[in-house]
Amino acid sequence: MNNRKSLQARDIGQLDNNQEATDKKIISGYFIVFDTETELYPGVREEVSPDALVGVDLSDVKALIDHDTAKVLGRTKANTLSLSVDSKGLYGEIIVNESDQEAMNLYSRVQRGDVDQCSFGFEILNEEMIQNSDGTVKFIIKSINLYEVSVVTFPAYQETAVEARSKQIEDAQKRTLQARKDELKEKLNGIKTTYFVSSN
């Protein structure tokens, strides 16, 4: 399997918000949920394996609004974003900067339930592709580099990810077709022609 070395974004998490006894405003939720299939587009699904985050570097991950690098909500390096991995996935808490009006507006939208999705930006280091007999394909992400997590308004996969998947599927289909051709050729080469002579 060819590894893809491009930045990816996925939207497979749920947010909630809370206000601690210290009166800190917090946006929290699972940015990655393990073993949950997500449909990239019809016939193509993907899931993140629990192994994907084994040994991943969380020391300088940013929390963004809608993957926009100009809209930073928090950062692990600054202790304004905390991330932890458990059996369910990657859980995070963002301490909202009350001096940042955009962050406060987002906090209010999360509190109201207007925004309740999250996502993550990453690079795939290792994955497995499974071709099912019904023609559908499933990708299992096994190892990543994590760059950012985002609170998102519209969960949507980046077109670059879809294009990369389409190319991978096309290549796999070509390999499968070639393997079938080789197998058929091998069978045909092994068959001896038998002639039947009529006794009339």
- What tens digit of pLDDT does each residue of 119-154 get? 888 999 999 999 988 989 999 999 999 999 998 887
Q: Is the pLDDT of residue 13 over 60?
A: no
Asked if residue 49 lies in contact with residue 34, where contact means CB atoms within 8 angstroms, the answer is: yes
pLDDT one-digit tens code per residue, 51-78: 999 999 999 999 999 989 999 999 999 9
Residue 199 within any structural domain of the chain: no
CA distances from 161 to 10, 126, 157, 167, 170 (A): 9, 15, 7, 10, 14
pLDDT one-digit tens code per residue, 72-120: 999 999 999 999 999 999 999 999 999 999 999 999 888 888 888 888 8
The residue assigned the tokens 């210290």 is 22
The total number of structural domains in the chain stands at 1
Residue 196 within any structural domain of the chain: no
Rounded to whole angstroms, the Cα distance separating 13 from 146 reads 15
Asked if residue 164 lies in contact with residue 6, where contact means CB atoms within 8 angstroms, the answer is: yes
Residue 197 within any structural domain of the chain: no
Domain residue limits at 70: 7-190
Nearest alpha carbon to residue 140 among 77, 49, 13, 79: 49
Q: Is the pLDDT of residue 27 over 60?
A: yes
What is the rounded average pLDDT of the residues 164-174?
Answer: 66
Q: Is the pLDDT of residue 21 over 60?
A: no
Residue 195 within any structural domain of the chain: no
What is the rounded average pLDDT of the residues 16-35?
Answer: 75
Q: pLDDT tier at 155 (50, 70, 90 boundaries)?
A: low
Residue 181 within any structural domain of the chain: yes
Residue 2 within any structural domain of the chain: no
170: Cα within 13 Å, side-chain hemisphere = 6
Residue 23 within any structural domain of the chain: yes
More confident residue, 196 or 63: 63
Exposed, middle or buried, 9 (CB in 10 Å: 0-12/13-18/19+)? buried
3-class secondary-structure state, position 113: coil
pLDDT of residue 143: 96
pLDDT of residue 158: 46
Residue 88 within any structural domain of the chain: yes
pTM for the structure as a whole: 0.72
Contacts of 181 (CB under 8 A, 6+ apart): none
DSSP 51: G
